[in-house]
Chains A and B, each alone.
Chain A
Amino acid sequence: MAVLSTLRVLENALIRKERKLPTPGDVLVAEGDQVDPETVIAKAEYVKGNPYIIDLRAELKQKVGPELVDRVMLKQVGDIVKAKEVIARYQKGFWSEVIEVTSPCDGVIEYISRTQGRIVIREDPRSAKPVSVVAAASRLGINPRLLRFVTTVREGDYVYEGKIIAQLDGQDFVYAPISGIVEKICTLTGTITLVKPIKHTKVLAHIGGRVTKVLPHYGAVVETTGAYIQGVFGIGGERSGELIIMSGGPDRPLDESRIDEHVSGKILVSGSSASLEAVQAARAHGALGLITGGMNQLDLVQLAGRELNIGLTGQEDTDFTVVILEGFGQLPVNRQTWDILEKHNGNIASIDGTTQIRAGVIRPEIIISTSGDAEPALAEEATCGLPLISDETKLAPTVTYAALRVGDRVRCTRPPYFGLWGTVENLPLEPSQVECEAVLEVAEVRLDDGRSVTVPQANLEVFRSEV
């Protein structure tokens, strides 16, 4: 049994990408807008919606058990609350003072621990305020001037929510309600001011095309027609730039003599391999990425800055994306893939090196838009019958087996014929002994170089072309 190649290599496809923010923000495009890869689809400036912790023991100044929590709470898990809204009320006796506990923010009650007397409110990021002022002296019942004697933090410290920021005699504690930086410890007011860092986030179009649908507060769907190619492994995230062919052919390595300032802002295309030195030189000249047939795994590790042990990539701290098309080592690019890339030499390509090799296989991809400024009506006609590539296409089955047939076009995936293409000529019924003495199902293959060889079927990748 051989393995069916499920890599998509399409000269022309309808490509649909959903471009979304991770949190609500502002969408900057409208349906029908023409976009290019660098167009900002949506952006958000927000303070991360941290959880606020309210310690009922501190608020009520006494031990708190499950029954008391049930008695004092006016809200339940899942309730939406507003800043300053009363969420718990306690009165010990008829003549006693009524203690009201209010929400420090707009948000939703996420967790109430009856055993520990804690309430967690998840802040609504849209209304999150960057500043939180904690009345520490009042909480501990001390003179504000004595605050610095009881604080456990200093100005400039970064604290995580829940961290103790002041304590008295090891018995009474003040917790940081948010994560942030200690901006000020004020001995006049007896307060500790925490400031949350503001995060800016945006999502780009990544591909050139047309906005076909707006996703309110989050982003949009962008569609285009063009070429779509998947690789086997990559590093680095989304990048776009002009393609530039840097090899003499699919079986030639990257031509280092051509690396100069002209590669700045471009995505390089190499044939069978690219050396680390060449790639680093290209990076130094401002190249954005590399598409190559093969590459040494050690070189890729150097570029990624970390070991790639579990085959999960895309989050590397790198400004350079690599898409490997065929495998590790020196491997010629598939002819069909090379022809597409060569045809688009000088065009803008969008690449993404994100890879996951199992538990939901994700393949690195290359998209070259060709729909340009075509009128929407014309574009619709042209897309009829094209294979659809959506966000789900990146996901692939882990392994798809295929029963070999005489005449199948195959590629060898293990030594000694690794990377060589051929055609199946015969399929012996009985297993045969191969060089290492294993007895395996084999196929007789006529390689493109003319040799007739016997290869274990498990070491053949079958290509059955689609559009």
Chain B
Amino acid sequence: MYRRLLAADIGSTTTKTVLFEIQDGAWAMKGKAVSPTTVEAPHLDVMIGLRQALSKLEALTGIRLLDGARLITPAGEGLGVDIFVASSSAGGGLQMVVTGLMKEITAESAHRAALGAGAIVSDVIALDDPRSAIEKIDAIKRLRPDMVLVTGGTDGGNISEVAAIAEMVAMANPEPRFGQDFKTPVIFAGNVEARSFVEQLFKDQMELSFADNIRPMLEKEVLGPARHKIHDIFLEHVMMHAPGYSTLFAWADGHIKPTPVAVGDALRFVAGKFDGDLLAVDVGGATTDVFSVIDSEFYRTVSANLGMSYSMGNVLAEATPAMVLRWLPFEADENIVRNWNFNKMIRPTGLPHTFQELMLEQAVCKEALRLSLEHHKSLIRGLKGVRQQRGVGDIFRQAATGDTLVDMMEIKVMIGTGGALSYAPRRSQAAMILLDGLQPEGITHLYVDSWFLLPHMGVLMDIDKDVARELIEKETLIPLGTCIAPVGPQASPGRTIARVTVGGDTYDVVSGALQVIDLEDGGQGGIEVVPHREFDVGGGPGRPVSEQLPGGVTRLILDGRGRPLELPKDVTSARRTVARWYHALGAYPSHTLKGLEV
């Protein structure tokens, strides 16, 4: 039916384009090209950057895509495309302020709803936060959000305080960032009985719409309707007023989504293929997004000051130089780490040239991931202050109120993307970053999205699920291996803590060691893991687990290093230890680890 598909993601810094074509009955990537994003001054038009990227794509693939300034559709011999899809986080993405009554109840739910809809949350305002009314109003005015989410009150409950918080937003009446001739949208997703009062407050001032209450009862959180409303309004109101987006809409025939929403849609599909939860990370220059699919529910957090260029200084400050130094298999002191880090921060577009630089960069990336995952766990948690309603299905997995919902043992799939992961010269380096930064537990399948195709797939899924599925399986997710990491008490080094049988052969998982098993036949027939009685790989302490390996997996990573990962306190011993691990995984050439005990 289709011959050629074009996808574009317009990020804050770069515009990425990818061309897919059907060849011999199967879809494949034909080429990709990148150009700087042109949403800000002096260009003020995203289409300039997009056309530049497409010109490069034409030169690379030999397929003519542009007729002057116009995209050629439909696809013909050597020219044009049948479908164009786009995702975007440019112009800073969707910036929102969310409000609620109580910081740890409705405001927190509102925060989750906005993050899940792909927004950057500039502020969370609650009636019980310590700022005065004037300070809250000033904050909203100063931030000039693209959209405000007002929540609070269970259905049939508090109205007066919900009205008070809505009143503050109405008083602030923030000016829109783009397009002075339209009103800032506000979504009310609180007590339905307060709707008429809210309508009176906002009429003539802001563009009001309603969504179902995100906390209709204290014990229930319903984020879906608010998320969809945020998404719809973002596309209709905010993006249409950003420079060049109306043309982009026309090109994409409406098939355009905010990048995090598109990624979320693709990840939900991927999670559906595995019997378990999913964790994905996107390490950007200024921020790190963490996505999870837990019990089929999608969650997203943005660690706004953890990233690999502009935010590197903050990663170093939060993690501390010592935590970065521990990953380096060469002698280095705090000055080296700090100077390197800050030089990258003030000149963010540089790339590693030497191995030492590459190791430094990847060490910082591990710490960014570790901190972002902690942040994600702290935000994605059971509803606070409520009595839990337990169903049969909840008996074996129920977080206490306020406990994180993220259970690393239940995470079956981990996906990494973002420059440091996707462009790592060796796949084993990407695997190492995920293993050390995220520390998977039990049996976890590791992937990298090397060409950052997940957002494209998330948009494509709305048009043709089959094509999207094929491209996700073949082109998007590059398998890094299946990690088997038993969890249990600290064991003396060299002790066998589990046995893994695959393809008729049995291997020991050894305490303190990392081992790679290359599978000649892709692990057909599956694996069986029998842990020592004190260790757990997902079935409970001492219980064996059998699994089929997903297609494309060609290596097992036996991780006996324990959780949480600990390194020897002595600096020289720590260096030798990490050098051994890197050598085991083939992360760096042996000559870069020379002189150490490997």
**Residues of B contacting A301 in the complex (Cβ-Cβ under 8 angstroms):** 338
Are A297 and B351 closer than 8 Å at their CB atoms? no
B60 CB to nearest A CB, Å: 12
Determine the chain B residues whose CB is within 8 A of the CB of A398 once the complex forms: 40
Pair A435/B313 contact, Cβ less than 8 Å: no
Chain B positions 322-362 with a Cβ under 8 Å from a chain A Cβ:
334-335, 338-343, 345-358
Which chain B residues border A459 with CB–CB below 8 Å?
Answer: 350-351, 353
**What residues on B are CB-neighbors of A113 within 8 Å?**
133, 164, 167
Contact of A438 among B132, B171, B352 (CB under 8 A): B352
Q: Is the CB of B167 within 8 A of A357?
A: no
Label chain B's interface by main secondary structure: helix
Contact A436/B339 with A77-B171, A311-B346, A458-B349 known, Cβ cut-off 8 Å = no
The answer to whether A233 has its CB under 8 Å from any CB of chain B is: yes
The answer to whether residues A437 and B134 also contact, given A298-B334, A309-B305, A328-B342 and a CB cut-off of 8 A, is no
Q: A232 an interface residue at 8 Å Cβ cutoff? A: yes
Cβ of A358: which chain B residues have Cβ within 8 Å of it?
A: 286, 310
Q: Could you tell me if B353 and A435 are in contact, using CB atoms closer than 8 angstroms?
A: yes
Given contacts A111-B171, A113-B167, A418-B343, contact A298 B335 (CB under 8 A): yes
Question: Could you give, for residues 195-222 of chain B, a 1 whenever the CB lies within 8 Å of some chain A CB and a 0 otherwise?
Answer: 0000000000000000000000000000
A161 within 8 A of B: yes
Segment at the interface with B among A29-37, A191-199, A216-224, A409-417: A409-417
B348 close to A399 (CB less than 8 A): yes
Interchain CB contact under 8 A, B425 and A232: no
Q: Which residues of A contact B334 (CB under 8 A)?
A: 298
B167 touches A114 (CB 8 A): yes
A99 located at the interface, meaning its Cβ lies under 8 Å from any Cβ of chain B in the complex: no
- Chain B 16-52 per-residue mask, 1 if CB under 8 angstroms from chain A, else 0: 0000000000000000000010001100000000000
Q: How far is the CA of A301 from the CA of B341 in the complex (A)?
A: 14
Question: Within 8 Å CB of B354, what residues of A?
Answer: 415-416, 435-436
Shortest distance between the CB of A128 and any CB in chain B (Å):
16
Q: Residue A120 at the B interface, CB < 8 A? A: yes
Chain A residue numbers with a CB within 8 Å of B41 are 397
Task: A436 to B350: give the CA distance in the assembly, Å.
Answer: 14
Q: How far is the CB of B221 from chain A (nearest CB, A)?
A: 26
The answer, yes or no, to whether B426 is at the interface (CB within 8 Å) is: yes
- Chain B residues whose CB sits within 8 angstroms of the CB of A26 once the complex forms: none
Given the interface pairs A111-B137, A115-B164, A459-B351, the reply to whether A415 lies near B346 with Cβ below 8 Å is: no
Listed residue (B314, B341, B347, B423) with the most chain A CB atoms within 10 angstroms of its CB = B347
Given contacts A116-B164, A118-B133, is CB(A414)–CB(B352) below 8 Å?
yes
A233, B342: Cβ atoms closer than 8 Å: yes
A301 vs B313: C-alpha distance when bound (angstroms): 12
Q: Say yes or no for A307: interface residue by CB 8 A criterion.
A: yes
B314 touches A309 (CB 8 A): yes
A455 and B351 alpha carbons, distance in the complex (Å): 10
Q: Assuming A413-B347, A436-B358, is B305 touching A401 (CB within 8 A)?
A: no
A422 within 8 A of B: no
**B353, A413: Cβ atoms under 8 Å?**
no
Report the minimum CB–CB distance from A312 to chain B (whole Å).
10
Question: Given A115-B167, A296-B335 in contact, is the A440-B346 Cβ separation under 8 Å?
Answer: no
- Least distance between B104 CB and chain A CB atoms (Å): 22
Q: Which of B405-429 contact A (CB under 8 A)?
A: 423, 425-426
Residues of A within 8 A of B286 (CB): 358
Docked-complex contact B349 and A3, CB < 8 angstroms: yes
Distance between Cα atoms of A414 and B317 in the complex (Å):
22
Contact of B356 among A120, A309, A415 (CB under 8 A): A415
Number of residues from A at the complex interface, CB < 8 A: 52
Please, what's the 1-or-0 string for A148-187, where 1 marks a CB less than 8 Å from any CB in chain B? 0000000000001110000000000000000000000000
- Indicate if B191 sits at the interface (CB-CB under 8 A): no
Whether A438 contacts B310 by the Cβ 8 Å rule is no
In the docked arrangement, what's the CA distance between A223 and B346, Å? Answer: 30
The reply on A308 being an interface residue by CB < 8 A is yes
> Does any Cβ of A come within 8 Å of B577's Cβ?
no
Give, as a whole number of angstroms, the nearest-CB distance from A389 to chain B.
19
- Residue A237 interfacial (CB < 8 Å): no
| Chain A, range 443-459, C-beta contacts under 8 Å to B | 455-456, 458-459
The answer to whether B426 and A437 touch across the interface, beta carbons within 8 angstroms, is: yes
User: Does A434 count as interface, using CB distance less than 8 angstroms?
Assistant: yes
Known: A110-B134, A120-B134. A327 touches B317 (CB 8 A): no
Query: Residue B160 at the A interface, CB < 8 A?
Result: yes
Which chain A residue lies CB-closest to B341? A297
Contact A296 to B357, CB < 8 A, known contacts A438-B425, A440-B351: no
The reply to whether the CB of B473 lies closer than 8 angstroms to some CB of chain A is: no
Q: Look across to chain B and name the residue whose beta carbon is closest to the beta carbon of A294.
A: B339
Q: Which residues of A contact B132 (CB under 8 A)?
A: 51, 160-162
Q: Are B339 and A329 in contact (CB under 8 A)?
A: yes
Could you tell me the distance between the alpha carbons of A118 and B168 in the complex, rounded to whole angstroms? Answer: 12
- CB < 8 Å: which of A232, A311, A415, A416 contacts B313? A311
CA distance A301 to B167 in the complex (A): 43
Partner of A111, one of B134, B342, B352: B134
Q: How far is the CA of A244 from the CA of B133 in the complex (A)?
A: 51
Contact in complex: B305, A310 (CB < 8 Å):
yes
Q: Is the CB of B310 within 8 A of A458?
A: no
A124 contacts the other chain (CB 8 A):
no
* B357 and A436 contact, CB distance less than 8 A: yes
Cβ–Cβ contact A357 & B346, under 8 A:
yes
In the bound complex, how far is the Cα of B555 from the Cα of A303, in angstroms? 50
Q: Is the CB of A413 within 8 A of B343?
A: yes
Is B318 positioned at the interface, with any CB of A under 8 Å from its CB? yes
- Known A110-B134, A357-B310; contact A438-B339, beta-carbon cutoff 8 A: no
Does B316 have its Cβ within 8 Å of any Cβ on chain A? yes
C-alpha spacing A398/B345, complex, angstroms: 11
Distance A111 CA – B423 CA, assembled complex (angstroms): 53
CB-CB < 8 A to B164: which residues of A?
A: 113, 115-116
Q: How far is the CA of A51 from the CA of B132 in the complex (A)?
A: 10
> Given contacts A115-B160, A358-B286, A414-B357, are A309 and B318 in contact (CB under 8 A)?
yes
Neighbouring A residues of B134 by C-beta, 8 Å: 51, 110-111, 120
Question: Chain A residues with Cβ under 8 A from B310's Cβ?
Answer: 311, 357-358
CB contact under 8 A between A434 and B133, given known A298-B338, A310-B305, A401-B36: no
Can you offer 24 A-B residue contacts whose CB atoms are under 8 A? A51-B132, A111-B134, A120-B134, A233-B342, A296-B339, A297-B335, A297-B339, A298-B335, A308-B342, A309-B313, A328-B339, A401-B349, A413-B350, A414-B351, A414-B352, A415-B356, A436-B353, A436-B354, A436-B355, A438-B352, A438-B425, A440-B351, A456-B350, A456-B353
- Listed from nearest, the 8 A-B pairs whose CB atoms lie closest are A309-B317, A437-B425, A297-B338, A328-B339, A309-B314, A436-B358, A329-B339, A307-B317
**B interface vs A, CB < 8 Å?**
13, 36, 40-41, 132-134, 137, 160-161, 163-164, 167, 171, 286, 305, 310-311, 313-314, 316-318, 334-335, 338-343, 345-358, 423, 425-426, 589
Question: Beyond the given A66-B163, A413-B350, A435-B354, could you list 10 further A-B residue pairs with CB under 8 A, ordered by the A residue number?
Answer: A110-B134, A161-B132, A297-B335, A309-B305, A399-B348, A415-B340, A438-B423, A440-B351, A456-B353, A459-B353
Interface residues of A (CB under 8 A from B): 3, 51, 66, 77, 110-111, 113-116, 118, 120, 160-162, 232-233, 296-298, 301, 307-311, 327-329, 357-358, 397-399, 401, 413-416, 418, 434-440, 455-456, 458-459, 461
